[in-house]
Amino acid sequence: MLGRKGPGNLGVLGNTVMFRDASDRVVAEPRALPDTRGDIARLIDQHAATSADDEGSLWKLVNVTAANLFARAAAGVLPFVMAWYFGATFTTDALFWVFSAILFLGGAFSNALETVVVPWVSRKEHKATGKRWLSSASVGIVLPALAGIGVFVVLNKWLLGSGYLLAAESVRLAETYINQNTSVILFMMLSGLWSGVFLARARFLSPAVSLSLKWWGTLVVLVILCENDAIGLLGYSFLVGEALRLVLLATLIRGELWSSGLSWRGLAAATREMPWRDFGFMFLTTVALHVNPMVDRFMASWLGAGAVSLFEYGWTLYLLPAMIFTSGYLIIAYTGIARSLARREVAQFRNRVADLNRHIGRYSFFAIFAIGIAGFTLIESGFGLGKLSPAHLAQASAIAMTLTLGLPFALLSIGYARILTAMNRTSSVLTISVVKIALNLAGNLLLIHPFGLIGLASATVIAEAASAAMSMWYANRIMQTMSAMEPRNEPQV
């Protein structure tokens, strides 16, 4: 049955057709309804046209997903390039710590800025004032970027000097890599701003392509430096990759940057109008969501030289199925969930969330099985990887297998964090993330000495499971409230 009839109307495929008589008055008597086959056919044609548009959008999303996965492929290969050339040593420990610290702090700044800029740009361009503002806004973020650089340098120097992070040889090398990347956070914030502008204008491919250029550029420079044994210059590989991304984005948006001009008044206005409050809150939320892997790396360094690298290799293997899911299906599913929520289609919203849960369960089962088979094969084969010994590769595989047991919980945590954000419950996401941090830290302290790196991985799984349970419980409570408040339309006979 296509729809439900009421007095003077026919609901078909979520649409309503109102029938009127010759005097343009609404027909109130159901028996007086005219023949509606033509109207039904018209609505079906409209629905088909809409579906065709959605398919076009879906293909665009698939292209963007492919570009993002292409970028992440380079990011995933990079640790194993280091494993091939150096194994798990103080050199790889230093490089992985610095790269992770940059991605953690700089990525939090960049992602938070990109997130809040999208609605801000949409509002500014909706006003259509005709004023050029992008160059002033770009200069306006320099001050917080410099503050971020200061935090990055001071915090890392303090941690490295405390004696609780990395071995002595790694500390000296890490300080060199930090000095080589002091300007990267500024580059990342500018890239976040400009990527947000592109996203607000539905130009999704430009940020994805620039991200691919960044990671593949980083990988190529790293290989060149490794081939020439330039260990002291490895930090520049990340700087070059981020600079390539920035240059590409600047080239694509150069018309607005160069033609808008600068003035003190425009700079003050752009700085004042930036959504700093939303940016600060989103930054804290992003930090809370991603701080646990940094805590794990920090505590792994207590286990001696090479331990940080082994955890990094295991973490990278574990991230492979997570990256595929979050770069593909999760984006599509979340788009539909957000659309249903915006339209207050509560029943459809709940169905989409239930579908997401089912797909996460099925996908995670397959991923756990695949990683388990691959891990056992690597452990039993006795293979190594370049200078990474068979024993170290087996240990990294065991870490990956342990972490993958928490994949369904991690995907549920990520998915429900987005759902709660769409429900305007970002503060709840932050609260749950803080609880997860506390649980992970407590688990690390309890499990690191008896179980080593496997203990750190197990603590991560426990924290993710608790986070997923809290997120699902709170989201279900909100959905029950929404269902109770939804008006019930009784069918008319």
pLDDT in tens, 267-291: 666 667 777 777 887 788 788 878 8
Output the pTM of the full model: 0.76
The overall average pLDDT reported for the chain is 78
Q: Can you read off the two tokens belonging to residue 217?
A: 């550029």
pLDDT tier for residue 108 given thresholds of 50, 70 and 90: confident
Chain mean position to CA 359: 19
51-65, 235-249, 368-382, range with the lowest pLDDT: 51-65
Neighbour count for residue 118 (Cβ, 10 Å) = 16
Residue 406 — φ and ψ, nearest 5°? -95, 5
149-158, 192-201, 463-472, range with the lowest pLDDT: 192-201
Query: How high is the pLDDT of residue 6?
Result: 45
Greater confidence (360 vs 8) lies with 360
Q: Can you read off the two tokens belonging to residue 361?
A: 């369960």
pLDDT tier for residue 59 given thresholds of 50, 70 and 90: low
Taking 60 as the threshold, does the pLDDT of residue 487 lie above it?
no
Q: Can you read off the two tokens belonging to residue 56?
A: 């076009």
Taking 50 as the threshold, does the pLDDT of residue 49 lie above it?
no
- Under 8 Å between Cβ of 289 and 295: no
Pairing type for strands 15-18 and 9-12 reads antiparallel
Query: How high is the pLDDT of residue 169?
Result: 85
Q: 415 CB contacts (<8 Å, ≥6 apart)?
A: 330, 333, 334, 356, 360
Q: What are the tens digits of pLDDT across the range 76-93? A: 899 999 999 998 899 999
Give the whole-angstrom CA distance, residue 395 versus residue 385. 13
Neighbour count for residue 458 (Cβ, 10 Å) = 21
DSSP 146-157: HHHHHHHHHHHH
DSSP 427-477: HHHHHHHHHHHHHHHHHHHHHHHHHTHHHHHHHHHHHHHHHHHHHHHHHHH
Query: How high is the pLDDT of residue 55?
Result: 43
Residue 397 — φ and ψ, nearest 5°? -65, -40
Percent of the chain beyond pLDDT 90? 26
Across the range 126-130, mean pLDDT stands at: 59
Beta bridge partners of 18: 9
Q: What are the tens digits of pLDDT across the range 146-183? A: 888 888 888 888 988 888 888 888 898 999 999 998 88
Percent of the chain beyond pLDDT 70? 76
pLDDT tier for residue 56 given thresholds of 50, 70 and 90: very low
Q: How would you list the strands of the sheet with 15-18, edge to edge? A: 3-6, 9-12, 15-18
How far CA 168 is from CA of 94, 171, 176, 259, 302, in Å, comes to 10, 5, 13, 51, 12
Across the range 231-245, mean pLDDT stands at: 92
Give the whole-angstrom CA distance, residue 368 versus residue 378. 15
